Amino acid sequence: MKKLCWLRSILTTVCMLSLAGTPLAAQDRLVLTGSSTVAPLALEIAKRFEQLNPGVRVDVQSGGSSRGIADVTSELADIGLVSRALKPEEETLASYTIATDGIGIIVHRSNPVQSLTDAQVQAIYKGEISDWNRVGGKAGPITVVNKAEGRSTLELFLAHFGLKNSEIKAEVVIGENEQGVKTVAGNPDAIAYVSIGTAEFDETLGVPIRLLPMAGVAASVTNVREGHYPLSRPLNLVTKGVATGLARRFIDFARSARVDDLVEAQFFVPLAH
Amino acid sequence: MSRWRIDRLLSLLLATLAGGAALILLLVLAFLVREAWPVLSGIGWVRLVTDDGWYPLENRFGLLPMLWATLAAGVAATVLAATIGLASAIFARFFAPPSVARLYRPMLALLAGIPSVVYGLWGLTVLVPLIARWQPPGASLLAAILILALMILPTVALTSLSALNAVPGSLMRGAAALGLTRRGVVLGVAVPAARAGILGGFLLAAARALGETMAVLMVAGNVVQNPTGLFAPVRVLTANIALEMAYATGAHRAGLFASGLLLTLVVVVLAGLTARLVSNTAHV
């Protein structure tokens, strides 16, 4: 990462030299810091923004949503990356949603269970319910699939259900979403949670999995985008006061349809345009 | 005079290159220690052993279950692959018809070249569901052992075959001239004579099994717990790093480097063992 920045600064210098007579001012540089969930997406958007705006440099550093808030407040960063809605005490900051992250619970397509309540999901993940016949399915031991520590999907799942990772009794721990889909597809008794974007995509391809509704709301990209789906969160760019200048241009770009493909590539849900 | 100088130059050049390779190893070790330092000193290396679980975000850093899982999967896979690999090497060298033997070697070489992630994908989509139908959840120590054994089998078979081929013909002819049976020649003379090479192959394969990441990650289930049975999911040290590194910061990241350091130590011990075994058995 450090090396890349270094390389980029050399490139920028070369660019500056070739554009002799038009030196770059400080307003041609943007610093973004914050959430490790948003950072990979912000980095991709920044790359495209730099391509379209020669001479502009955008630095993205991750370090958690709280760092994003702190850095913007202390003006260390121009834009903060925050993977949640702002709290009331952070109202002095302006926030701009660039995408939504939603996670859905998946089971095998042959599983007769049509829906689970929040309490049932909690009990299943804590190991208190370990057989499908207790939640209206065929008798069979439930295979609980959990995410590896540090993943944002895990964090959102734990926060929504009020669980601690050490309380979860998992049979399988996975990394990528795709691994979760394959695990459920290959095990009719498994239950997992993955990004809705991934699951919906695989379902349409005919992979034998099924997304379960949450609190009566169907798990679909459309419902996430429109804000009806409970297990989701906004991915925000925040600025100190209303964004102006280059930061404004970057935010407008990040909210435009021109980055939808980048958003989808990270399994997030793009904005409705 | 000038030939002397050329030799001196060559030896200097080779020494520099060899020194460079050794230096890189030391640098890697130093880097691992430096990155793991926040956990080793701040949290204390004792807690890596005594903590009862791996929940780095809840400040619990127990690595022991993953060490046992790594050793269990590695050792069992090596034993399995060694048995089958040695048997197939003996078959190809002494018992197979020449046409079969000629085909056998390139086939093994081809098998050895298959990328591990392909084995992993096959394991995840075929082997794990198969085991799940019998003993759910399927992703388990057994799946890891089978995939690893499959992966290192060609290595074991090829090194054993090379070692058997290298046994001097005079030994074999001498044994045959003494009137030994085919079985006696093979098991009593050829295999003991090739012992160093065969053992070296086993340990090479064991090191590969310990270091394998992707294939194991896809089939082992990755739950951090002591390996209590063949059908229980386990997490090995390499999988721990691959699963969590992308998102880890602070002490969590340092804990993952500590996993890497522990794995390196295991491999170093294994390498030391190899060196001793091979030097002890080099003379028949």
The pLDDT of residue A107 is above 80: yes
Q: Rg of chain B over CA atoms, in angstroms?
A: 23
Q: What is the pLDDT of residues B228-247, one digit of tens each?
A: 999 999 999 999 999 888 77
Contact A171 B233 (CB under 8 A): yes
Contact B124 A63 (CB under 8 A): no
The nearest CA of chain A is from the CA of B237 a distance in Å of 13
Nearest to B221 among A164, A166, A171 (CB): A171
**Chain A residues within an 8 Å CB radius of B235:** 173
Residue of B nearest to A164 (CA): B58
Chain B within 8 Å of A35 (Cβ-Cβ)? Answer: no
Q: What is the pLDDT of residues B116-159, one digit of tens each?
A: 889 999 999 999 999 988 887 889 999 999 999 999 999 999 99
**Terminal-residue alpha carbon distance, chain A:** 33
The confidence score (pLDDT) of residue B281 equals: 61
Q: Report, as an integer, the average pLDDT of A133-156.
A: 89
The residue type of B235 is R
Q: What is the pLDDT of residues B176-212, one digit of tens each?
A: 899 999 889 999 999 999 998 999 899 889 999 999 9
The confidence score (pLDDT) of residue A62 equals: 79
The confidence score (pLDDT) of residue A2 equals: 45
Instruction: State the ipTM, two decimals.
Output: 0.79
The confidence score (pLDDT) of residue B282 equals: 54
Q: How far apart are CA A238 and CA A76, in angstroms?
A: 13
Q: Report, as an integer, the average pLDDT of A151-162.
A: 87
The pLDDT of residue B2 is above 80: no
Contact A172 B221 (CB under 8 A): yes
**Chain B residues within an 8 Å CB radius of A165:** 55, 57-58
For the record, the structure tokens of A86 come out as 């702002």
Q: For residue B201, which of B45, B88, B35, B40 has the smallest C-alpha distance?
A: B88
Per the prediction, chain A carries an average pLDDT of 86
Give phi and psi for B16, each to the nearest 5.
-65, -45
The nearest CA of chain B is from the CA of A20 a distance in Å of 40
For the record, the structure tokens of A98 come out as 């660039």
